[in-house]
Chains A and B, each alone.
Chain A
Amino acid sequence: MARRAIVFAALVAALLAAVVCSLAFGAVKVPISEVIDIIFGNGGSPTDVQIVETLRLPRTVEAMLVGAALGVAGAILQGALGNPLASPDVIGVTGGAGFGAILIIILLPGSIALLPLTALAFGLLAAALVFAFAWTGRNRGSVGKVVLAGIAMLSLFTAGTTGLLAAFPERAPSAIFFIAGGLTSSGWRDLETVWPYFLAGFLVVLFLIRPLDRLALGDDVAASLGSRPQAIRLGAGIAAALLAAASAAIAGLLGFLGLVVPHVVRMAGGTSSHTYVVPASAIGGAALLAGADTLARTLRAPIEMPVGPFMVILGVPLFLWLLRKAV
């Protein structure tokens, strides 16, 4: 218990630090005292107000939300499928969202304003196809079927994406940031479109935490306790699809986060109890993305790097170190 509390406290501290840095640092130097003034509505120069209020604040909120959503999506999928390799990639969401976004960027540039919704729609479509195939025929809803249908769907949509990119190489630069995964400074515009999907996803997750703990003791124990294992899996799949698709709509493809963060918090906390893993993954994911995004946009400022590859480079050594200790 104490260990979990310590890890939890450390994660919260990391998140706070990441958020403070995310608001305080950027390509344009704004004194920290002025940032504080601006955030509490006590003035500041108009340009700095613009920078902090319309660029940094929404971006920080997006980073936290997307990081939390992907961490939680990975945690519940790994729990529901009982598979350590599960992540939003595995239910097809990432592949679908990527294809939807590239479709708009490459073929329908005039409809660029629809990019978040299209990415979201295709992400959900891919997940729906995965569930439809996995939940029909014999052995419906089995973990193996879900994972195989997911990998097949991921391959299908990824093939569509790379096909489009190969056909229009001169248009690829516009798509690279989406595929690499990264946040943008586009105010509250994207969040205004997709917040209901985040909300719905997080709400479903709240009701899944306890059933997932039952499922961790096996399908039979869950059934003994009155849960339906297949329903828990489907619910977790839907919630993860909502969260991951909404995340992709805002920040592109950041699949790595959903895979690794739950493992890191499990190894650090020494438990796979969902009452701990789910909230810890949310906070850990938020801290990681907010921190990595701050680095991605300040290290070579004013040049911005995509946060996706950056996060992988930062995250993998930590992950491997914990993996070694975890036996």
Chain B
Amino acid sequence: MEALLEARDVEVEIAGTEILRGADLDLRAGELVAIVGPNGAGKSTLVRAVSGLQKPSAGSVSWSGRELGEMRGRELARRRAFVPQRMAVPAGVSVREAVTIGRSSHLKPLRRLTGEDRDGVERAMERARVTRFAERDLTTLSGGELQRVQIAIGLAQEAPVLIADEPTSQLDLGATISVAGLLRELAAAGLAVLLVVHDLALAAAVADTVVVVSEGRTVASGDATTVLTSERLAEVWKAEAHLTEHDGRTALHVAWLEQRQG
């Protein structure tokens, strides 16, 4: 299948510091890719760079064969939706209004919403399961609800790719399960989903492909069990740990206090 996103040797420099030194990424329809790595490895920078939010200093990024640098905002908005870790929450804006803003990339300047646009907003809310509280203000939502609304905003863009930067990092267990399930469902329905994830057990459970980023480079990519080996966990995370998977349930067994004793 043709890759929706193809990134090769991407480098990013921010204020004179090299954050990304060579990262590759591929993404196909219906695939859920999780990017993992230690703090400061460049995970967020990588997804921001391929999304067009951070200008790469070298390397190539193409979306369905179109070079990232050649696309204007509107075209890019039709190819991918980016869901930030936590969006700004303006006062007095309801869920439906926020999702409608997500639809605005489809509108020509000064044009009003068409019936099709309104249907699109409803569809996005239903897929993200936020319709139940569509009239509530964003400021009244719980962390899990807000994350689902953010995903709904991304879905309203109706792009074939949804990119989310640590969507679960601030959620409790239940909310994390709910969001993870939602993302898996979306991938199953044909969407390409790219996630930055901290929780390796979660990544292993939901991702088709896990990409490991370390010190600005993508060092491994593939099935969770083949990528997240004990050797790699020791090398990249400096942790004595191993991943287990059984019947769709994953666990990370960590020797939490081992090193201190040693």
Contact = CB atoms under 8 A, between A and B. Distances in A.
A271 B72 contact: no
Given A138-B15, A207-B109, A226-B73, A220 B87 contact: yes
Interface of A: 82, 138, 206-207, 210, 213-214, 216-218, 220-221, 223-228, 266, 269-273
A217 to B, nearest CB: 5
Contacts of B176: none
Given A221-B153, A225-B105, A272 B110 contact: no
Contacts of B76: 226
B90 A225 contact: no
Contacts of B52: 223
**Which secondary structure dominates chain B's binding surface?**
mixed
Given A216-B93, A224-B154, A225-B102, A210 B107 contact: yes
A226 B109 CA distance: 13
Contacts of A266: 91-92
Contacts, number: 85
Given A207-B109, A214-B104, A273-B97, A224 B90 contact: no
A268 B180 CA distance: 39
A271 B92 contact: yes
Interface residues of B, number: 34
Interface in B67-90: 72-77, 80-84, 87-88, 90
B82 A217 contact: no
Interface string B93-134: 100011001101101011000000000000000000000000
A217 B73 contact: no
Given A225-B73, A227-B73, 19 more contacts: A82-B88, A206-B110, A207-B109, A214-B101, A216-B90, A216-B93, A217-B98, A217-B101, A217-B153, A218-B87, A220-B84, A224-B53, A224-B83, A225-B102, A226-B72, A226-B73, A226-B75, A272-B93, A273-B90
A286 to B, nearest CB: 22
A224 B152 CA distance: 13
Given A223-B52, A224-B157, A218 B110 contact: no
Contact of B93 (A223, A224, A227, A273): A273
Nearest to A221: B87
Contacts of A269: 92
B51 interface: yes
A202 B128 CA distance: 37
A86 to B, nearest CB: 15
Contacts of A220: 53, 82, 84, 87
Nearest to B93: A273
